[in-house]
Structures are given as structure tokens and as C-alpha cells.
Amino acid sequence: MIAESTQIRVRTQRGEFPARVVRRDPANDLAVLKVEGTFAALHVLGSGRLRPADRVFTIGFPNPGLQGFAPKFSSGEVAALSGPGDDPRFIQISVPIQPGNSGGPLVNAAGSVVGVVTGKLDSIKTLKVTGQIPENVNYAIKGTILLGLLEAVPGLTDTAPQAPANASTPSTNSADTAKAVEAATVLIIVR
């Protein structure tokens, strides 16, 4: 979608801003956008510390035309450390997602990004193959893949937030953690 765009904007809590692509990773469907200004940021962790059953959540903008433009919180667990067909670039998550969650941060209980929400198992294809509709089988690209892309942008990692000492230790106040993640999450508008 980014590749065919004529205009990219991000909507934050402070308004809308123009954005431009500074690096793309088409193989993993990721892009790094540049927006002028000072904004809240989240620390990105590699995926080496993730385990099945770890609590994770996302804040995104599912179906904004139907559900509105307010960010929505959704939580679940890491279900597997690989994706479709055991693809090691992904993790399987039980976090409920909808169209519009794709590209949003997958965050651990400490508030560090551990992945990027990518999509869900195709219900129609799965129904045709198995005779069953899958329930809550969703995926995120691993934080390790995202870190590789971020490190490929000259000068970006010099200004990235440093890992807090408790980057993988669950917060005692999940509402405060969610509020901090919400402040750093934007709606990307592609035309």
C-alpha cells in the first residue's frame, strides 16, 4: 500500500502531519516513515526473550470508518514463536485484530515493542482446506526483523529510545503502560 501511495500522513493526538518513506522492506511489508517534529517513542526489543504465553497487546485503529478514530486496546498472549508454515520471521498471537490493526505495535507488558501486527489466518482459505473457521489466529512480524530495518536507516538508532532496565519486566500498572503506548501510536493515512 505504501509503495503505491501518492500521499502519506500520520494522525497523532496533536493533529495530522505529512510523512515520507525513508526505508522500505517489501519482503516483510515494513516501512520506516519520517515525520518532522518531536513525538513520543517506544523502545523496540528483539524477539529472543519472547516465550509462549507472554502477555502482549496492541493499540490500533481497526475499521476507523466504522469504529471511529479513537485508538482501540486489544490484548492476548504469544501463542507460538513462529508464523504460518513455521515461518521464523513471525510470531503467532491470540490478540484479537481487525483490518486497521496491521502495522501497529505489538507491545509486551513492560511497554516495549516486540513486533508489528501483520494480519490473521485467512478464514475462507482455512474453511476450504479444513472445513473449520479458525478462531483468533493472528500474526506479528518479530521485533528482531523490525530492529534490522531500523538499524539500516543512517542515524536513526543514534536517536532511538534506549532500553529501560525493565524493558521485559511486566509493569505493575497496565493502564499506565497502555496510556504511554497510546501516546506513541499513530494512525497512518495513505492516499
pLDDT digits (tens, 9 = 90+) for 144-184: 999 999 999 988 866 666 666 566 666 668 899 999 999 99
Q: Which residue has the higher pLDDT, 39 or 88?
A: 88
What pLDDT score does 167 carry?
A: 64
39: confidence class by pLDDT, cuts 50, 70, 90: confident
pLDDT digits (tens, 9 = 90+) for 121-130: 999 999 999 9
pLDDT digits (tens, 9 = 90+) for 1-16: 666 677 999 998 889 9
What pLDDT score does 34 carry?
A: 93
Sketch out the chain's domains with CATH numbers: 44-184 (2.40.10.10)
The separation between the first and the last C-alpha atoms of the chain, rounded to the nearest angstrom, is: 9
What pLDDT score does 82 carry?
A: 97
pTM over 0.85: yes
191: confidence class by pLDDT, cuts 50, 70, 90: confident
Question: How many Cα atoms are found within 13 Å in the side-chain-facing hemisphere of 67?
Answer: 13
pLDDT digits (tens, 9 = 90+) for 40-89: 889 999 999 899 999 999 999 998 889 988 999 999 999 999 999 999 99
What pLDDT score does 127 carry?
A: 95
